[in-house]
Structure 1
Amino acid sequence: MLDKLEALKVFCITAETLQFKQTANILSVSPPVITRVIAELEEYLGEPLFRRNTRQIHLTEFGADFLPHAKQLLAQSDELFSQAKHYREEDIKGTVRIAFPDVPFNEAVLQELLERLSAYPELVLDWRVSAQRLNVVHAQIDLGLRVGFAVDSRLIMRRIGYMRERIVAAPELIAKLGMPKDLQDLQKRYPLAGLIDRNTGRAWVWNISEQQQFVPHEYAFVSDDQHLNLGAALAGKAVAQAGDWLCADYLARGELVELFADMPKLPWPACLYRNQTLVTSPRVRLVFDLLADILPKYFSQ
């Protein structure tokens, strides 16, 4: 008998990997199991989901149309069951591997999480912090936080808020140069700080809004660390773009000035994710649910 929810999970992961063998590795089952589940799902739907040849598979037009509906249903079912889940102490033991970006509130989040987990002494957290996006399968990551628009059908993702980036400078620099009239004026007359993307080795483009980007032609300061980048702005060395989670306190204290404050800003979605597996361990689900409750206060909604 076909388990429809489990079949949808297999389909969504296979749509990402486009390899039955890799899907089998992710789900810790044999490739014939994946082949059988996909075949049964196709028979149930009355339409092929994949085109197959000897080397690879591709989504059919029907499969591509069906995929977003499958993802939505899985997300809804996961949220429904997580609300009704109760945890027993004897079930919560072992290691949970967590991946977070380098955000200023990591320590505060960890402290609150550990307090809430005090009833589970046999639970071990393996907490990784990196500016690089990890391969969650190869790194054996159970759950984590991502900020951005990238979609990965191997993951169950829950949006917890948004992050917006602001263009900031020290008051001393603005007193010297005045406020820029527009982005063209900013490009011509102001020293600029560049933040290096550690995944590509190139400086990030400044995403101003959904319709507008700003690409500095020259830099007065460059770093692959967002804290040092902001430090250059605080020192009056350069104008920088920084996430509101990093610069909000400095703006509130008057140590930084926001440029183009009235300009619409691109809302970057912040999502908590976990691996989409056929069976999620109670320890992973517990930590996921606790972080989903802790994190929203650190983001705009």
Structure 2
Amino acid sequence: MDRLKAMHTFIQIAEQGSLTRAADVLDSSLPAVVRALAALEAHLGVRLFHRTTRRISLTEEGRHYLDSAREVLAAADAADRALAVEAAEPAGRLTVTAPVLFGHMYVAPAIVRFLQRHHKVRCSVLLHDRTVNLLEEGIDVGIRISALEDSSLVAQTLGSIRRVVVASPAYLKQHGTPAHPRELLDANCVCLQPGSSAHWAFREQGRPLKIAARGNIDFNHIAPAVEACAAGLGFGNFFSYQVLPMVAQGRLAIVLEDFEPPPRPVSVIYPHARLLPARARAFIEWMKAEFTGLRL
């Protein structure tokens, strides 16, 4: 039984004072109206109307239920109207996650521009360098720099980001520019993992190649590692966006470009849903317009 439809039928019977007239107003058949009323009364376990061959009138329970049914239908109409307004103009809270530095440099400015366009959206931005579970943590949309493995999510690729090896011009002048990744085995490397070594990925003639990079320092955060490389401490392996400002300033130089691994995809991800909120749909389209074709 469609309870809202049954309530609407009940209200029309009460207002028209006749099953036949209610059927006419509802553009329905008399048997259908009778069945809807009978189903509603059976569901409620009470009789809503006194019925005789000549007239129909509300019972005491029916009068109380009439007020409640009108309130329920009015609330349902209000909810429909609110969603229709949101569909026309996105509104409500949106939670977005992204990697820390990429979020700071690229995602946050794009979100600011989005909110300047859509004033009724409230956005919470969560920047993490761990893999965030959108469903468990109640997040609407994420920006991810990696291939999508979670089949419960949808990913739309925005662009790609290179993985690059860099060093300062001063370090390269003193120690030489490597022509092959194996030369890093004898160099000082600034690592991003706890411990004294890390494996850096390369590609040689279409085949993967890994080099055990070693150095006298490692960091658990990108920014100081990049600064250490710029200060001349050694080679570093970073995403291109993390070092491009210093490359542009001449503080770092990219080496071994012919051996770079395939670029990583940058994607906007969100849970599977046929009916995404308008604010989420609008944000996804905004990010696609902002970043599609991104090559860093």
TM range (shorter): 0.5 to 0.7
Query: Structure 2, unaligned stretches of length 5 or more?
Result: 1-83
TM-superposition CA deviations, 1:153-200 (whole Å, max 9, x none):
111111111111111101111111112242222102x10111138xxx
Structure-2 change in CA distance of 1:97 and 1:217 (3 Å): same
Partner of 1:100: 98
Is 1:208 aligned with 2:202?
yes
Is 1:192 aligned with 2:189?
yes
Partner of 1:275: 271
CA shift for structure 1 position 126: 0.8
Is 1:251 aligned with 2:252?
no
Is 1:237 aligned with 2:233?
yes
Query: Structure 1, unaligned stretches of length 5 or more?
Result: 1-85
Mapping 1:1-301, distance limit 5 Å:
91-104=89-102, 106-188=104-186, 190-196=187-193, 205-209=199-203, 211-216=207-212, 218-296=214-292, 298-300=294-296
Q: Is the 8 A contact 2:246 2:252 kept in 1?
A: yes
Letter in 1 for 2:115: L
TM-score, normalised by the number of residues in structure 1: 0.63
CA shift for structure 1 position 218: 2.6
TM-superposition CA deviations, 1:3-40 (whole Å, max 9, x none):
xxxxxxxxxxxxxxxxxxxxxxxxxxxxxxxxxxxxxx
CA shift for structure 1 position 105: 5.8
Letter in 2 for 1:276: H
Structure-2 change in CA distance of 1:167 and 1:115 (3 Å): closer
Instruction: State how many pairs are aligned.
Output: 211
| Structure-1 separation of matches of 2:102 and 2:169 | 23
| Structure-1 separation of matches of 2:129 and 2:93 | 23
* Higher mean C-alpha deviation, range 120-129 or range 215-224: 215-224
Partner of 1:40: none
| Structure-2 separation of matches of 1:257 and 1:184 | 18
CA RMSD, 1 decimal? 2.7
CA shift for structure 1 position 240: 0.2
CA shift for structure 1 position 227: 1.6
Larger Rg: 2
User: 1:293 is paired with a residue of what secondary structure?
Assistant: helix
Higher percent of residues as strand: 2
Higher relative contact order (CA 8 A, sep 6+): 1
Q: Percent identity?
A: 16
TM-superposition CA deviations, 1:244-280 (whole Å, max 9, x none):
1122232233211222133343211111111112421
TM-score, normalised by the number of residues in structure 2: 0.64
